[in-house]
Structure 1
Amino acid sequence: MTQEQYEALVKAQTAQAATVPAQAGSEKRLPTQEEGLLEVLLTNGLLSQEQYAALQVKNAEDKAKKQEVKEAKVTLADGFKVKSTDGDFQVQAGMYAMVDSAWYGDSDTDFSNGTELRRGRLSLAGTVYRDWDFKLEADFAGTTQDTGTTNNVTVTDAFLRYTGFKPLAFTAGNFKVPFSLEALTSAKYTTFMERGLPFALLNARSLGGMVSSSGDNWTGAAGLFGDTVTAQNIDDEGSGAAARVTYAPLYQKERVVHLGLGGQWREPASKASSPFLETVRFRSKPESNIITDALASSSITTTASGNTFGVSSGRLVDTGNIGGDVNDYTLFGAEAATVWGPFSLQGEYMLAEVDRETGNNLGFDGYYLYGSYFLTDDARNYKADKGVFDTIQPAKPFKAHGDGWGAWEIAARYSALDLNDEEVDGGDIRDITVGLNWYPNSYVRLLANYVYVLDINGGMHDDEDLDIFQVRAQVTY
């Protein structure tokens, strides 16, 4: 059949269909233009019966595919998720909340017991046209201990990611900087209530852009970053770069070996408290966020070299704003972890080197090592294509009238942070933490931690020891 003959048949069939009156209430469906054309071609012997049947099947498949695009699937198992049946569009709403209480033992400083909403986050994430991912997350539990301001809303994640050039992904916005296993593992899934002491050295989230890639057992990411979304600068904002690579030489069910290296470089911004001089500050609480003390801002002093010292809001070690007009600082990190059935080990080492215009350069470091063990038939959940740990899914979730008791985990950690070097007397702290975690199901977690500060060498809390007991109730959806 020629093209002219085909077009003539289409016009004839269309005209014929237009002259057929529709009968009110009739249940008989009129044939579509494509169906009518196939009938004409079959009747005139221009199509074989086999060709006619094959084209009917194809028309039915095309019609079903068009219908699928208009339909969506709703799931509730992991947050409220709506996904188109063709997979091109998806949106998911989620939340998690953590409520903490803490009690502090007798010490030289009067630390205040308390209760707080540690995190209260709402998120909206999704995919547009299959290759564009986005996420917006805000924390409604923000508390600025230094000023006493509460109920601040803080944007934690706000980014757009393009995945069309696999295996590469391109991310822009505010998100976690690629550095540190414990930092990149969500607080929803960390073994202890608070991350280890070395976490004070790194810049966790910033505005910037990143390129990343991953395979079945490795990841790689590098990016350029500006300052945080809450930074207030009087001059050019801070800037930097970060990169991380991970590799899992062993990656099996409940059998994992994780290795990773990371680095950060940052040029700090000028601060309002020291106009046109760039400075940096490192400080840490003793792995308990609620802790506050009665030390006032008047206790902060400034030395002849320009370093300011002082501790507030329970930060037991604090370099103060480092003087000498800081050019930049570099952070190196090494990480390792293993999972062997119910047993797990994890550790990291971090070193920060501060380059100054005047005065000697400085070096601060920290590390942690911990082990955990599940008393039930469970194990930590590692994601090798992301290089982080994920949610615990109990083998037998707890039910009031069932035989499951959820997952039970015990853990112990040793952590250290040294902020003493040259004239900077920020303090050198060591502590241990033991914990008991109960996971009734994959959405609820109850934690109890005991923290004992072994020793503080230097700083405003020199030679002080402290014991802390704290608990948390957490829900994730």
Structure 2
Amino acid sequence: MPLVLLFISSIASAQTEPPDVPATPEPTPVAAPTTAAAPVAVNAAPAVVQQTPTGPTIGIDITKTSGKTEPKQLELKPGGYLQADTRSFVTDTSPHEQTLRRLRFKLEGKAFGLFKFNTLIDTAQSKLVVQNAFIEIGLRPEIGLRFGKDKAQFGIERLQSAADLTFIERSYPTQISPNRDIGLALRGDIRGGLVHYSVAIVDGVANNAVLEGETDDSYEYNAHLLVSPFKGLAQFGDLAVGAATTFGRTHGTVASPGITPFKSAGQATIYKYAGGSAMDTLATTAVADGYRYRFAGHAYYYAGPIGALAEYVADYEPVALRGDHTLLAQRAWQVAASAALTPGDKPTYKGIVPTKPFDLDAHTWGAFEVAARYGELILDDDSFAAGIADPAASVRRARAGTVGINWYFNRYIKLQVNYEGTVYTGGAPDGGDRPTEHLIATRFQAAI
């Protein structure tokens, strides 16, 4: 609770600070003030406070004035977000859950017109996890070199910030995609973002996992291309179409198998590889061993009050058990759509910023959005024939439908309610099907 109060008080202060630390103004029909905030002096040089559409920015200038040296600028932008969730299961005996899903603190910035850096640390659930820690060097937007820990440039839903998600939980394609990886990437935006590209050499990470360090002596290679044909043509909306791939050798061990189980939206394990207990040995543990390939195709389109996103991922996972090797083909896809109910508000890939933030005195209520999604996860039957997974405990297929409503109080506060129903094939004793999961989930989010 103190952490929740701390976040709420931080948001309040971001909107009510005196002029020397201005918050980014909410978008309203009233014209923005023309006077600049008071500068902050560092080494007797004037500071520049920049404002961006995503939240308040603290800027610091470091200026050298000897001879004809050009000014050198350092910009720092702190931030973070909190997500407090509840989960209720309609038809089974699973307990009602309350959890602090994410509590993340970030610091990003630019230095000397050449460097960019980003750190993101998650402290939720009594854990300290470094999500991002990278530096990028780039003279021009068209080409940059990024080194460190970052999201793998692969899944379009994974590449969305967790604070910008339309639904509380990501869909199944994300579960067979890499999460965070460590490596070196060449990337850039051509013609103002008309084309985005990334090619990378990384350590290689298991599906839906965050890499903490090198687990074998092999590398993985990633490539991603995203084309936005209407870039700069706002009247046609925001369309993006892309594809991505990863390929490379992987080698797991009993301690670090290199393969991960699959979970439902309610965080129940619905598919598990053999092994995983303290008593298991290499003879009883399924591990990744061989060349792994992933392919993804995705697109989104946002225009006016509506938006849509579609994604398909195929994962070819090399798994070894008792000396036998099996290449498992795992597939997942989703289609999602959303619509803003409040006039003037527009869904985007980065969420909604209400045109009329919540204000009791002004009788404005923020923005409301409804959304629906359907997705499937299809697992390889060969995993059961080879003993890699237990058919009495692991499903062969999952089909999930989700509906939700989102209430954006302002750019900082969001409330979400989702219902997700998931139907399974297999996953029960005697060839039966795992019972349908009916989940009602809620989320309170505060982001600055």
Task: Tell me which interval the TM-score lies in, with the shorter structure as reference length.
Answer: 0.7 to 0.9
**Could you give the per-residue CA deviations for residues 150-205 of structure 1, whole angstroms, max 9, x where no partner exists?**
x1111011111111254201100111111111110101111101110121111110
Q: Pick from 213, 221, 244: which aligns with 2:198? A: 221
Q: Which is higher, the Rg of structure 1 or of structure 2?
A: 1
- Residue 198 of structure 1 aligns with an amino acid whose one-letter code is P
Distance, in Å, in 2 between the alignment partners of 1:112 and 1:420 is 31
Is 1:416 aligned to residue 376 of structure 2? yes
Corresponding residue SS for 1:390: coil
Aligned pair 1:457/2:426, yes or no? yes
Structure with greater proportional helix content: 1
**1:119 partner amino acid:** R
CA contact (8 A) 1:456 1:464 kept: no
Query: What's the offset of the Cα at 1:458?
Result: 3.7
Aligned pairs, how many? 373
Distance of aligned partners of 1:125 and 1:467 in 2 relative to their CA distance in 1, 3 Å threshold: same
Deviates more, 1:251-260 or 1:90-99: 251-260
- Indicate the SS of the match to 1:170: strand
SS in 1 for 2:337: strand
- Contact conserved, 1:286 with 1:431, CA < 8 A, in 2? no
Tell me, yes or no, if structure 1 residue 247 matches structure 2 residue 222.
Answer: no
Q: Normalising by the residue count of structure 1, what TM-score does the alignment of the two structures yield?
A: 0.71
The aligned counterpart of 2:134 is 159
Tell me which residue corresponds to 1:124: 107
Question: Equivalent of 2:89, from 88, 104, 128?
Answer: 104
Tell me, yes or no, if the aligned pair for 1:119 and 1:139 is still in contact at 8 Å. Answer: yes
Is 1:374 the counterpart of 2:340 in the alignment?
yes
The RMSD of aligned alpha carbons is 3.2
Q: What corresponds to 2:310 in structure 1?
A: 347
* Match for residue 445 of structure 1 among 414, 422, 431: 414
Partner Cα distance (1:232, 1:75) in 2: 35
Match of 1:474 in 2: 445
4+ long deviations beyond 4 Å: 66-69, 227-233, 297-308
1:429 counterpart SS class: strand
Is the contact made by 2:200 and 2:221 (CA closer than 8 Å) also made in structure 1? yes
Aligned to 1:401: 361
Amino acid at match of 1:434: V
Q: Distance in 2 between matches of 1:238 and 1:445?
A: 42
Q: How far apart are residue 242 of structure 1 and its match?
A: 1.1
| Alignment match, 2:78 | 93
- What letter matches 1:172 in structure 2? F
Answer yes or no: is the 8 Å Cα contact 1:391–1:442 preserved in 2: no
TM-score by length of 2: 0.75
Q: Please tell me whether the aligned partners of residues 75 and 110 of structure 2 are also in contact (alpha carbons under 8 angstroms).
A: yes
Relative to structure 1, the CA distance from residue 280 to residue 396 in structure 2 (aligned partners, 3 Å threshold; closer, same or farther) is same
2:143 and 2:187 in contact (8 A); partners too? yes
Gaps of 5+ in 2: 1-40, 64-70
The answer on whether the counterparts of 1:456 and 1:465 sit within 8 Å (CA) in structure 2 is: no
How has the CA–CA distance of structure 1 residues 122 and 379 changed in structure 2, closer, same or farther, with 3 Å as cutoff?
same
**Shift of residue 285, structure 1, vs aligned partner:** 2.0
| 1:307/1:422 CA distance change after superposition, 3 Å | farther
Amino acid corresponding to residue 143 of structure 2 in structure 1: L
Alignment of 1:5-84 (within 5 A): 70-74=45-49, 78-84=55-61
**What is the distance in 1 between the residues matched to 2:296 and 2:179?**
13
Give the aligned residue type for 2:368. W
Instruction: Determine which of 261, 265, 269 is the counterpart of 1:287.
Output: 265
Conserved? CA contact 2:254–2:282, under 8 Å? no
- For residues 275-312 of structure 1, the C-alpha deviation after alignment (integer angstroms, 9 at most, x for no partner) is xxxx54243222234x589x9x999799999675xxxx
Query: How far apart, CA to CA, are the structure 2 residues paired with 1:380 and 1:192?
Result: 13
- The alpha-carbon deviation at position 421 of structure 1 amounts to 2.6
Query: Letter of the aligned partner of 1:402 in structure 2?
Result: A
Match of 1:430 in 2: 399
Amino acid at match of 2:327: N
Residue identity opposite 1:135 in structure 2: N
**Deviation, structure 1 residue 137:** 1.5
Query: 1:263: which partner in 2?
Result: 245
